[in-house]
Structure 1
Amino acid sequence: MRIRVLGSAAGGGFPQWNCNCPRCDGLRRGTIRALARTQSSIAVSDNGERWVLFNASPDVLQQIRSFPALQPGRALRDTAIAAIVLIDAQIDHTTGLYMLREHRQPLQLWCTRQVYEDLTRGNPLLKLLEHYCGVNWHELPLGEDFQLPGLEGLRFAALPLLSNAPPYSPRRDQPQPGDNIGITIRNNSGRSLFYAPGLGQMEAHVWAAMQAADCVLVDGTLWTDDEMIRLGVSQKSSRAMGHLPQSGEGGMIEWLDRLPRTTRKVLIHINNTNPILDEDSAERATLAAHGIEVAFDGMEISP
């Protein structure tokens, strides 16, 4: 199984275009040691020839250009993207579908019914695509294994997560199972990855999936619960936005510390305000001391 991190930042990327927080300003000025990042997405393959895209960020064209395996050049118009799986209906995970409208066949899209409804009503992105390539929607089953055509060497299992629906969703602040998912990906040899870029609360079934995985690639959005509030850029806490903070009681670090010693632990979907983006920060050193990695664009993971 090959896993490529296409984008590792939260919505807005890093640096965010209109943000002058210490991290964004420091990267632009060259006063901190950090890497620019595009918005969260990964690509997974069983053989390196056909790939499933997890989320389609607004930066998807840049991400495809930076990863030639997604453009094999076998025909005049070609792609190695066999399917697209949406973790949720958030703008930073779906807007890239617009950028793929030149596809010659309908996009093979897998998502839950809740996500499909949000993308045909609150944000009717899929209806717009009917005027271009079109979309073949496949309902993502929750709690049972499934396979994707063209990727027979992999098996997938999606789990519902307690995390908020998008601001335009009628279920905003009243989440339902299927608004947000985590997913286990397993190859024929039994090696597995658990992927959850938006994880607001640890539930028993999610914790069981994390403990069973060889690698966890999970929510790294914010360092503290009040990070956005203290900076004056939001009135909502990390948990209220559907993201478990890394630090503090019951935070992500505490949970990751409880995983088996052999589990590889990687954070993704990192907000531009998060001090872990600064590679020389005390917060980054704390993660290293706990054996926790920070995903970056172009990172290759082999569970």
Structure 2
Amino acid sequence: MNIVVLGSAAGGGFPQWNCNCRNCAGLRNGTVRATARTQSSIAVSTNGTDWVLINASPDILTQIRATPALQPARARRDSGIAAVMLMDAQIDHVTGLLMLREGKELPLYCTAQVWRELNEGLPLVPVLSHYCGVRWHALPTAGGVHVPRIPGIRFTPLALSSKAPPYSDHRHDPHPGDNIGLLIEDVDSGLCVFYAPGLGAIDAPVEAALGRADCVLVDGTFWQADEMIALGLSGKTAADMGHLPQSGAGGMIAVLDGVNAQRKILIHINNTNPILDEDSAQRALLARHGIEVAFDGMEIRL
């Protein structure tokens, strides 16, 4: 099983276009040692030719240009993208669907809750019906699915305790399926990755998934609970936005310390997070705990 990290940043990317925080300003002027990142997405394959795109970020065209395996190679017009699978209906995970409109009908895997949002709250599906069209495959919140052209991989969704998108009519009334994690398992070897870029709480099913995974690729959005408040950028905490910060009691570092996976990787990293600074004390602390920071182009092979 091959996984490529197409994008590793949270919404807005890094540097964010309108942000002058220490990280963004420092990357632009060269005073912070860091690497630019696009908005979070991964691709999964078994043969290196056919890929499941997991989340379609607004940066998808840039990501395709940086990833030869996704580019046309077999016909006058084609793509290495065999299907798209969505973790949620957040703008930074779905609006890239519009950039794929020139292709063939899109096989789209998502939960019923996400499908509803894409037809009503943020009606991308009706728009795409005038272009390539979308063929929906329902992702259950229990049980695994197989994707044609991706043999030997089972994708098992796991409903997460998180939030629907800000535009949703039930933003403050979470429903199962608003946000999922995925166990991505190589059926032959039994090796698996737990992917959860939007993880707001650790409940028993999540704990079990973390314990089973050989590699965890999880929410790295914020370093501290009040990060956006402390910087004067928002009045919301990490929890208000559906994310578990890395630091503090019960934070992601503490959670991952109890996980025996071969690799522990943070993804969906907000532009304000000090771990983006490769010389920061926070980045050094992660290294001491055996936790990696995802970057665009990172490859994971199991």
TM-score, length basis structure 2: 0.99
Residue 287 of structure 1 deviates from its aligned partner by 0.3
SS at structure 1 position matched to 2:241:
coil
SS at structure 2 position matched to 1:150:
coil
SS at structure 2 position matched to 1:146:
coil
Residues in 1 aligned to 2:151 and 2:296: alpha-carbon distance in whole angstroms? 26
Residue 72 of structure 1 deviates from its aligned partner by 4.1
Match status 1:242 vs 2:245: no
Paired position in structure 2 for 1:221: 221
Paired position in structure 2 for 1:129: 128
Residues 166-217 of structure 1: per-residue CA shift (max 9 Å, x gap): 1111110211110000000111211110000000000100110111000000
Residues 212-269 of structure 1: per-residue CA shift (max 9 Å, x gap): 0000000000000000011111111001100000000110000000011x53100000
Paired position in structure 2 for 1:201: 201
Amino acid at match of 1:58: P
Amino acid at match of 2:46: D
Residues in 1 aligned to 2:172 and 2:236: alpha-carbon distance in whole angstroms? 12
Residues in 2 aligned to 1:72 and 1:2: alpha-carbon distance in whole angstroms? 19
Residues in 2 aligned to 1:254 and 1:47: alpha-carbon distance in whole angstroms? 36
Residues in 1 aligned to 2:94 and 2:298: alpha-carbon distance in whole angstroms? 21
Residue 153 of structure 1 deviates from its aligned partner by 1.5
Amino acid at match of 2:183: T
Residues in 2 aligned to 1:63 and 1:279: alpha-carbon distance in whole angstroms? 23
Amino acid at match of 2:122: N
SS at structure 2 position matched to 1:145:
coil
Match status 1:191 vs 2:200: no
Residues 70-114 of structure 1: per-residue CA shift (max 9 Å, x gap): 1141111010111100000000000100000000x2100000000
Residues in 2 aligned to 1:69 and 1:145: alpha-carbon distance in whole angstroms? 26
SS at structure 2 position matched to 1:96:
helix
Paired position in structure 1 for 2:17: 17
Amino acid at match of 1:224: Q
SS at structure 2 position matched to 1:136:
strand
Residues in 2 aligned to 1:298 and 1:202: alpha-carbon distance in whole angstroms? 28
Alignment length, in residue pairs? 301
Amino acid at match of 1:140: L
Gaps of 5+ in 2: none
Paired position in structure 2 for 1:166: 165
Residue 46 of structure 1 deviates from its aligned partner by 0.9
SS at structure 2 position matched to 1:185:
strand
Paired position in structure 2 for 1:147: 146
Residues in 2 aligned to 1:83 and 1:203: alpha-carbon distance in whole angstroms? 30
Residues in 2 aligned to 1:176 and 1:254: alpha-carbon distance in whole angstroms? 27
Kindly tell me: are residues 101 and 152 of structure 1, through their superposed partners in 2, closer, same or farther at Cα, counting changes over 3 Å?
same
Residues in 2 aligned to 1:287 and 1:143: alpha-carbon distance in whole angstroms? 33
Amino acid at match of 1:276: I
Residues in 2 aligned to 1:149 and 1:27: alpha-carbon distance in whole angstroms? 41
- Please give the residue correspondences for 1:249-264 in structure 2 after superposition, counting only pairs within 5 Å: 249-260=249-260, 262-264=261-263
Residues in 1 aligned to 2:49 and 2:76: alpha-carbon distance in whole angstroms? 17
- Aligned-residue sequence identity (percent) comes to 65
Residue 135 of structure 1 deviates from its aligned partner by 0.1
SS at structure 2 position matched to 1:95:
helix
Paired position in structure 2 for 1:75: 75
- Name whichever of 64-73 and 92-101 sits farther off: 64-73
Residues in 1 aligned to 2:268 and 2:153: alpha-carbon distance in whole angstroms? 24
Paired position in structure 1 for 2:181: 182
Residues in 2 aligned to 1:98 and 1:184: alpha-carbon distance in whole angstroms? 27
Residues in 2 aligned to 1:151 and 1:281: alpha-carbon distance in whole angstroms? 40
SS at structure 2 position matched to 1:42:
strand
Residues 125-145 of structure 1: per-residue CA shift (max 9 Å, x gap): 111000000000111011201
